[in-house]
Structure 1
């Protein structure tokens, strides 16, 4: 009876926010106080900021996939699947498991941290031909694809085809896009030395963004410094420009230019997980509107945080909301766990307040720009800060050891430019990795829960 009557705490999402919340709940709650359940398709926490380094081969995929089952003290039940709907009135979360089964998970407290998905627009051909970089599978696929373009260009006899395979387009001048272009350009620059039949001058990287500045959050000086570094490497940067049309062998820019290419990488921002749309609750620019303590107004026991929640940024004020960054997600995860415990024990919850620590952008090698605590750095000092921050943010000693070993090995021995071929025979565009058609509408969620309730009776 004790097990049955324990309050059920359900955490949705195993990103920075979700995992930090679960870990804090495990440490602060006794086994008899609550039953903990985590919904996630993968039983690991992915360190997203280092994905560009996986795509470029600097890091191995395993080094940034931190197992949730490694700790012997881990006692949270994992449901291997994704939440596709939440009925707030019935307090039921609808889950599609990785086997395709639909299960209903009741809860007393729910922490919504489903993260975000790639933001796309109604651009012809975009989801059919563009690659994303939001998951480990996408990073591994993208690395294979880029190296395969070099292999195919080296083998082909048609000059036009060779030129198109050696042009690469990255859309998005934020951190993800800039780091992706920088890391992959270094990969192709190093790899082409192993292809004596290829002219290095044919390899062209394009970084485009509709914004007038590259990474405006860094400020005028550092943003210009990053742009100069990339330009010096040969990356062509076009600002105030986006994609008008995407095809299998060419991309049309909004300024009319047509670039023959087989590689379009889309990193133009993120939006909240479609799960938020199933709640039929108020949103702010697509993110769930919550109070400063991360509770959903009008719904007892519902908390939301991370990329999918518009958490008020009290440190900035003026109706600002916290940006979808790792440093906020980590701290929100720990803070929301304390608030869930407070609610469970009948104590008042506390508002979330965090002063932004700054920004780091790793451009590969000794190139970087960073702004820790407002201080502007570039070059080797910025690289030390960037990698030091990422290294310290990794949750386990094993992950830290693997990442540091990879960095040292890559710096000393370089890359072997090997394609794994694991996904060579399946498509790998945005449509194939996002699974956006899996989510239910609010009406479908309610109908499903009511039908399941009648069947249970």
Structure 2
């Protein structure tokens, strides 16, 4: 195994390795870099990540619906984190005894880097369920390749439907099934009808053709995490756009030509979007460290018990929720970002004999962008709907994004003024966006 970094630290006396450049890892690197710079310390920070960008996940549905350019949701890590050394690759082994991390770079070479402190912010991957055909026929929604694939796929189905005289095939290609009525699934299903209507309007052959969007979930309502008022507001928007909201039901089997539901009905379709949730990155299990609900057990200070040199945060960590006794923090970007900031602070403190702080934060609420000027939001747990929710939602995203704010705002303005572009780019093919992401070579989202 070659070691591009190994013990070559230059003048640095200590090295901190952060695994994962998502919400948690990004904030950990950002905060630690600022503290190190301000203190004049000679600590080297190495960020290991499969891509050279931070992904702003909440806007992926708008990428898939051709509202926002994919470059807007990707922020360059070298540009945003000057002074942080980027190691491109997917980590597959953590040697706790030797204090070394092994990873595979984009060209297949094996690399390794040692550390004095390690931050595990490996994030999450698609949550799989033992349903026949799901892994083969469904597509997840956790990264730019998947969003680009879905955008091309939806356009392609409409275009193929316009080209056929077979009524059955046309109906199937004009039927889109989304499984999971959480934040992502609800946003995808809400954006969907607006997108397909724009594409279909360019094909007079489809005049009068019904385009169906189905949103399935075993939960009794959409957005079950939110207050009833917000759930009802989102449900109303979905139904007003013709989305068939099917709560209390889900997929029992997936096939190439459609899905069989638990209710027994068969829906002919060529599109199955899987948004049922996430699970910790498989690397978590591979560390051999204790887990809770599949996530690394940590102390409130984010330290992994028995390993004072190892910290964990974000979706990979079961951080005790000090605001709710007996619970761990939810797998949300909000918690990941805050935990990442604390991880950066505590890592520096641990290297300099300082006092470690405990993580304690209340959720500040959520925003759900439903497209077409509609949104649902509860900032500071104040439920909002209509235009105020839309303003809060877009304002929140612009404030939360670490870059590309002006470009994103311009994309929103162009979408409002000129409509959506609807051409297939053909950049991502189906085999490159598999739902099963256990392999380190497959797409992951770090957080």
- TM-score tier, shorter chain, comes to over 0.9
Preserved CA contact (<8 Å) 2:126 2:437: no
Moved more, 50-59 or 370-379: 370-379
Secondary structure of residue in 1 paired with 2:252 = strand
- Separation (CA, whole Å) in 2 of partners of 1:402 and 1:332: 28
* Alignment partner, residue 400 of structure 2: 393
* Alignment partner, residue 301 of structure 1: 309
* Alignment partner, residue 337 of structure 1: 344
Kindly state the Cα deviation for residue 356 of structure 1 after the two structures are TM-superposed: 1.2
Confirm or deny that 1:418 pairs with 2:423.
yes
* Alignment partner, residue 177 of structure 1: 185
* Alignment partner, residue 258 of structure 2: 250
- Separation (CA, whole Å) in 1 of partners of 2:433 and 2:255: 12
- Separation (CA, whole Å) in 2 of partners of 1:27 and 1:373: 29
Moved more, 403-412 or 237-246: 237-246
* Alignment partner, residue 225 of structure 1: 233
- Separation (CA, whole Å) in 1 of partners of 2:437 and 2:125: 10
Secondary structure of residue in 2 paired with 1:8 = strand
Work out which of the residue numbers 392, 401, 410 in structure 2 matches 1:405.
410
Work out which of the residue numbers 67, 84, 100 in structure 1 matches 2:76.
67
More relative contact order, 1 or 2 (CA 8 Å, 6+ apart): 2
1:413-447: CA deviation from partner (whole Å, max 9, x where unpaired):
101211112235x535434xx541339xxxxxxxx
* Alignment partner, residue 55 of structure 2: 46
Equivalence map 1:314-393=2 (5 Å): 314=322, 316-393=323-400
Moved more, 196-205 or 122-131: 196-205
Preserved CA contact (<8 Å) 1:189 1:200: no
Q: What are structure 1's unaligned runs of at least 5 residues? A: 440-457
Moved more, 56-65 or 99-108: 99-108
RMSD: 1.6
**Structure with greater proportional helix content:** 1
So what's the TM-score if we normalise by structure 1?
Answer: 0.91
Preserved CA contact (<8 Å) 1:130 1:429: no
Confirm or deny that 1:36 pairs with 2:45.
yes
- Separation (CA, whole Å) in 1 of partners of 2:9 and 2:411: 47
Secondary structure of residue in 2 paired with 1:313 = coil
- Separation (CA, whole Å) in 2 of partners of 1:380 and 1:206: 26
Work out which of the residue numbers 437, 440, 444 in structure 1 matches 2:439.
437
So what's the TM-score if we normalise by structure 2?
Answer: 0.93
* Alignment partner, residue 446 of structure 1: none
Kindly state the Cα deviation for residue 120 of structure 1 after the two structures are TM-superposed: 0.7
1:105-162: CA deviation from partner (whole Å, max 9, x where unpaired):
2111000001100001111111111111100111011100000001100001211111
Preserved CA contact (<8 Å) 2:90 2:440: no
Kindly state the Cα deviation for residue 104 of structure 1 after the two structures are TM-superposed: 2.1
